[in-house]
Amino acid sequence: MTPTILVAGATGNTGRSVVETLSKLLNNSDNTTLPDHQIVALTRSLTNPVAQHLTTLPRVQVLEQNWVDITADWLREHRVVRAFIASPPQPSQFAEESAFHLAALRAGVQYVVRISTTAANVRPDYPAYYPRQHWAIEALLSSPEFASLQWTSLQPNVFTNFYLAPAVELIKHFRKTGKQDTPLRLMASKDAPVGVIHPDDVGEFAAQLLVQKDPAVHNKAKYVLNGPEDVTGEQIVRMVEQHIGAQVENVVYKDLTFIDEMAAAAEAAGQSKSIILSIKHAPVTAWEGKCTAATTRREVLELAPPTRTVAGALEAMLGE
């Protein structure tokens, strides 16, 4: 079997873009860096439309495999030499992702690119639970015991598809009914500029890292990624008004009621409600103006600069 680049969560928010970009880069006739490598893309369902799309790409093999069950033997069997992972921010994230990295270490995987979260939040004392998990994973990977496993942690800002979802919902509802039955509830504050980023931009940068001839220059790096421009909540409202041809009647900024719904669902499933409610602290740094496009790392701009604008992302989500 040829050497493999593993993409865990290939049908997820950033994984699809990683696979698509890797396929183009590896299949390029100018590729002399990793000429014999293939891509193994993991999915939990081969019937997933995205998984079926990925099977059509050159050098891509799609496997139905839950990444949390991957062992060192599995990695060796599939000759995995490099890997991408974007683990979901569940309370079990540290246990599951650290097990993956331990398996990679024992299997002799050379390089891992992982998705972290908003850089301003990744610290051991942050009130929201999941940035602490990312900090802990990065601390584990930085330990002497993991020295032989090279890694890069990507710290993207909030994703456009998540940030703009309420705006898309209101526009579609208005176009269908001509009514604004509910307020436009935005996680954004009215005035704070935030460099929201499209997940495809993150995936493309991750793929570029994975095909570097020598990833040592990026080893232990923590790269902040933002979109090419800032946007405020008020600017999102103006975009909505342009699309519906009317004034938005009722706006709620800094709305986090969706987290209450998440917490209620977690409690019903026997999980900790308070842990999920701690997510309400996550947007605070953005409201404080600490997550602007200007914080993007130079290496990102040099290797694969984000290009997708907020307006363009909104139009894509509307199918325009």
Tens of pLDDT along the chain (320 residues) come to 789 999 999 999 999 999 999 999 999 877 778 888 999 999 999 999 999 999 999 999 999 999 999 999 999 999 999 999 999 999 999 999 999 999 999 999 999 999 999 999 999 999 999 999 999 999 999 999 999 999 999 999 999 999 999 999 999 999 999 999 999 999 999 999 999 999 999 999 999 999 999 999 999 999 999 999 999 999 999 999 999 999 999 999 999 999 999 999 999 999 899 999 999 999 999 999 999 999 999 999 999 999 999 999 999 999 98
The reported pLDDT for the residue numbered 320 is: 82
Which CATH number is 4-157+199-226+292-307's, of 1.10.150.20, 3.40.50.720, 3.20.20.80, 3.40.1010.10?
A: 3.40.50.720
What is the three-state SS of 142-206? Answer: CCHHHCCCEEEEEEECCEHHHHCHHHHHHHHHHHHHCCCCCCEECCCCCCCCECCECHHHHHHHH
- Mode of pairing for the β-strands spanning 60-64 and 111-115: unpaired
274-284 exposure pattern, b = at least 16 Cβ within 10 A, e = fewer: eebbbbebbbb
Output the six-digit token pair for 244: 């519906």
> Are 15 and 9 spatial neighbours (Cβ–Cβ below 8 Å)?
yes
**pTM reported for the whole predicted model:** 0.95
Distance (Å, whole) CA 252 – CA 270: 31
Which pair of tokens denotes residue 240?
Answer: 């909505």
All residues at 6 or more sequence positions from 28 whose CB lies less than 8 Å from its CB, including other chains: none
- Residue 34 has what pLDDT? 86
Taking residue 68's Cβ as centre, other Cβ atoms within 10 Å add up to 14
The pLDDT of residue 130 = 97
DSSP H helical ranges for 178-297: 199-210, 233-244, 257-268, 273-277, 284-287
User: Residue 5, CB half-sphere, CA atoms under 13 Å: how many?
Assistant: 29
Give bridge partners of residue 113 from the DSSP assignment.
84, 152
Please give the Cα distance from 52 to 93 (Å, whole number).
27
Say how many Å lie between the first and final Cα of the chain, rounded: 43
Q: Where are the domains of the chain?
A: 4-157+199-226+292-307, 161-192+229-287
Token pair of 22 as six digits: 């890797």
CA geometry: angle 254, 198, 32, nearest 5 deg = 155
Cα-flanking dihedrals φ and ψ of residue 156, to 5°?
-75, 150
- Residue keyed to tokens 């183009």: 24
